[in-house]
Chain A
Amino acid sequence: MNKNGVTPVIEMRGISKSFPGVRALNDVSFAVEPGEVHALVGENGAGKSTLIKILSGVYQPDAGQILLNGATKSFTHPVQSLKGGISVIYQEFSLLPERTVAQNIFLGREPTRRGIIDYAAMRAETRRVLDLFGAGTRVDPNAIVADLDVATQQMVEIAKAISLNAKVVVMDEPTAALNEAECEVLFETVDRLRERGTAIIYITHRMREVTRLANRVTVLKDGEVAAQFDHVPKPGDIVRAMVGRDIADFYAPFATENEIGAKVLSVRNGQNDRVSNINFDLSAGEILGFAGIQGAGRVALAMALFGEHPFTSGKVRLNGKTVAFTNPRDAIQAGIGLLPGDRKGEGLVLMQSVRDNGMLTARAFDTLLSSHKANQYADLASMDSLLDAMEVKASSYDQDIGNLSGGNQQKAIVARWLALKPKVLIFIEPTRGIDVNAKAGIYHLMRDLARGGAAVMMISSDLPEVIGAADRILVMRAGTIVDEFTHGATEHDIMLAATGETEVAA
């Protein structure tokens, strides 16, 4: 029992968890009471997802205990936590797209009558559950899930959780894929759930949602509880706890006018099946940010420049010369580098050493039969000093890179490009899934590169990051560039341009 005399539905005490190479959680405690929204905030890599996976039985903690209604429980499988009344709604939904809403909600526990599925009862119960949180008018139990928009699919997930009698509903960044209007619908749903006495753990890193929804706030940073608030504090307090330092030196300073050099890259009327009417210039010494919602064409633009999915028409000039790359190798040869957004899927060769990952591109452009130890771009010693300079933490550079933390892995990929001294370096989601201090490291690294004369393109879905790190911001929507901001733009302005709405719901 806590000081209010209420037994928390769920309480986690002193949870610790390590993975090879990273300490994901260290002595984390937190509790949720019925009828409250407890916001769990923290940067990517702060340990939020790990904590939830422990709560739902996907991982087992190395230390600490979980109390459900005051009784110690240990979940070794997600089904057990589900039976205990804990429902997790992940960012990727677990719905079957080609089935109806009712079929999804009762998947695996369909009501039967004389051994035959009782569809009428199933529909009636689905409607009842949906009405409980006011979604009855919005969702038809007979609709096929694939036909529903993302917000409605989310409601189906919530309905599924409620019909399973969930006492605790965990929402993992539920607004990530929603537009503004859909967000508001979600917030109302959360309010209804709270009124019904459901405890909600709401994971987010958006301050606006915390202010709008939360009763209490726990801030995680680097796997530890950085702050816990019994009220909703000012956004600045949360951010300070999340970042662990002042925002001022979290990002590197912007480029001064002298630092911006000659035009390196220019694109005119670039077009392919994913992007259209692309026009922009990029100068040496500049960090150009690309903002926009998922699917706005930012990554497609990068892949077009990099030759992976080339422009079919338009003109690209690199250092004054017209170029048209049809594969990444040609683009690299001409001086363009790219750090993919999906680090594990597209960036790393996971079973190879840190050093091999760093040397990858340098070796790819050397003769096949010459020694792997040295080439015109790098040798093992210079690679080691690059890695040293970036403070890559590994027990040895011969260690498999798979065992390193996300931030250190990212640095090794940056090292891969540094060896080749590219003229243009494209970062896609450079800080996704890496811890806060490593993030700051990456921002400063990008700035150092720009100061060294490279032109940097930075594509990020993390709006504060784009605003904090980029000298100039282009906003993309529906495959084309719709707006441009210099630094000093607000999130609000950029979101308006990115979503194309005239006014963003506050």
Chain B
Amino acid sequence: MTDQPLSSAEAPKKRALPHINPVYFLLAALIAAILLQNPNFAEPTGYMNFLKRAAPLAILAAGQVYVLVSGGFDLSVGSLITLVVVGSSMLTNNDPSATLWVIPVMLCIGLAVGLINGLVVCFLKVPSLIATLGMMITLTGVSFMWSGGSPRGYLPDTFRFFGRVNIMDIPVIRMLPVALIVLIVVGFALYWLMHRTNFGRMVHAIGDNPQAARLGGVPVNRVRILAFVVSSLSAVVTGILLGGFAGVSTDVGNGYELQAITAAVLGGAQLLGGRGSVPAAIAGALSLQAIFTLLNFLGLPQPVRQVVQGLILIIAVALAMYRRKRTGR
């Protein structure tokens, strides 16, 4: 989109050249690098486990894109993940049959958090960065209060099914993690909603120019609130997956909000709104996960991973700004 040929006003109409988002090249290069380090990655256990690990972040990033494109930030998703994991362990209380009602309850909590975020931003006019930061601190507090600081250790296997189980004995690919199925279903739904519906186009419009959207009749507040709801619901799904393979703790969601933003920006999402893509954000999340995997292979410790993630965020935004300046927007 940014590197389309500059059209002179007289140029006859023709189809725009297909434009491939650079994140897909990045992802391909990273996977090639992983394969060089570790040929076993080509085996189903290699790449399936990679996808399983990446699925929660990918879903979270796909949800974050909605808020980013609408011109905001959602920093509350990390603490919402924690709340989902901690809250689920408290509510299920080791009863395997409780999963059936606990998951809907968690989705309702996510709905409420998204609604509150959106309402605060739209009607109290609190900038989303601050509103969701406040929500983040609040939810962290709620998680601590609910669990008394030391969450009970287990989630029933019925709950952990989504994040942990691999369906085995499938021809060709041999194993299929349930988390990957969740990613494909949720990812497709979010793709469709963002790029194939009126709602998605309006999310773009309000992030691009809210005043123009308003004067064009777009129900700006309704669309903005729904964008926050989508982000929160995707955080709930992420929490359910993470509850599956991480343990129950009060820091399980820490840092996920910035990872999601980094992933979305790697996928070309514009930080001040108006542009962004769900598939590219998912590719961004896979790229980020691939970078972490590479760092692991290289034997670099956790703090290095944080340094790298911070640098990636800054570089990705700087590149986006540079590209924007160069194309005069």
Contacts and interface: CB of A to CB of B under 8 A. Distances in A.
A348 interface: yes
Given A350-B209, A372-B196, A363 B202 contact: yes
A402 B275 CA distance: 13
Contact of B200 (A365, A372, A398): A372
Contacts of A23: 8-9
Contacts of B274: 349-352
Given A351-B270, A366-B198, A398 B217 contact: no
A498 interface: no
Interface in A188-239: none
Interface in B156-201: 193, 196-201
Contact of A405 (B9, B199, B328): B9
B212 A364 contact: no
B171 to A, nearest CB: 36
A20 interface: yes
Interface in B1-39: 1, 4-11, 13-16
B9 to A, nearest CB: 5
Contacts of B198: 363-364, 366-372, 375
Given A364-B202, A372-B197, A349 B213 contact: yes
Interface string A339-370: 01000011111111000100111011111111
Interface string B102-128: 000000000000000000000000000
Contacts of A369: 193, 197-199
Interface stretch (A73-81, A263-271, A388-396): A388-396
Nearest to A435: B9
B16 A395 contact: yes
A384 to B, nearest CB: 9
Contact of B199 (A338, A349, A360, A368): A368
Contacts of A347: 212, 215
Nearest to A407: B9
User: In the complex, which of the residues B200, B217, B219, B327 has the most CB atoms of chain A within 10 Å of its own CB atom?
Assistant: B217
A90 to B, nearest CB: 20
B327 A393 contact: no
A408 interface: yes
B247 to A, nearest CB: 38
Contacts of A402: 328-329
A308 interface: yes
A370 B204 CA distance: 16
B208 interface: yes
A26 B289 CA distance: 52
B329 A360 contact: no
Given A349-B274, A395-B14, A396-B14, A20 B9 contact: no
Interface in B190-239: 193, 196-202, 204-205, 208-209, 211-219, 223, 226
B208 A352 contact: yes
Contacts of A338: 215
A472 interface: no
Residue of B5, B213, B215 with highest tally of chain A CB at under 10 A: B215
Interface in A383-415: 393-400, 402-405, 408
Interface in B43-87: none
Given A350-B329, A394-B7, A356 B205 contact: yes
Interface residues of B, number: 42
A311 B193 CA distance: 38
Interface string B287-309: 00000000000000000000000
A97 interface: no
B16 A396 contact: yes
Interface centre among B197, B202, B212, B329 (most CB of A within 10 A): B212
B212 A332 contact: no
A340 B214 CA distance: 11
B201 A370 contact: no
Nearest to B329: A402
A351 B329 contact: yes
Nearest to B206: A349
Contact of B201 (A332, A372, A394, A395): A372
A487 interface: no
A93 interface: no
Contacts of A352: 201, 204-205, 208, 274
Contacts of B275: 351
Interface in A325-339: 328-329, 332-333, 338
B199 A395 contact: no
Nearest to B204: A352
B216 A371 contact: no
A22 interface: yes
A25 B7 CA distance: 16
Given A340-B212, A352-B204, A369-B197, A360 B15 contact: no
A306 B327 CA distance: 35
Contacts of A397: 13
Nearest to B4: A399
A399 B219 contact: no
A399 B211 CA distance: 22
B212 A346 contact: yes
A328 B15 contact: no
Interface of A: 18-23, 306, 308, 328-329, 332-333, 338, 340, 345-352, 356, 359-361, 363-372, 375, 393-400, 402-405, 408, 416
8 contacts: A308-B215, A328-B214, A345-B212, A346-B211, A349-B208, A352-B201, A369-B198, A396-B14
**Which 6 residue pairs spanning A and B have beta carbons closest together?**
A395-B7, A349-B208, A351-B274, A332-B217, A368-B199, A363-B198
Given A21-B8, A308-B215, 15 more contacts: A20-B6, A23-B9, A308-B214, A348-B212, A350-B209, A352-B201, A352-B208, A360-B218, A364-B217, A366-B198, A369-B197, A395-B14, A396-B15, A399-B16, A405-B9
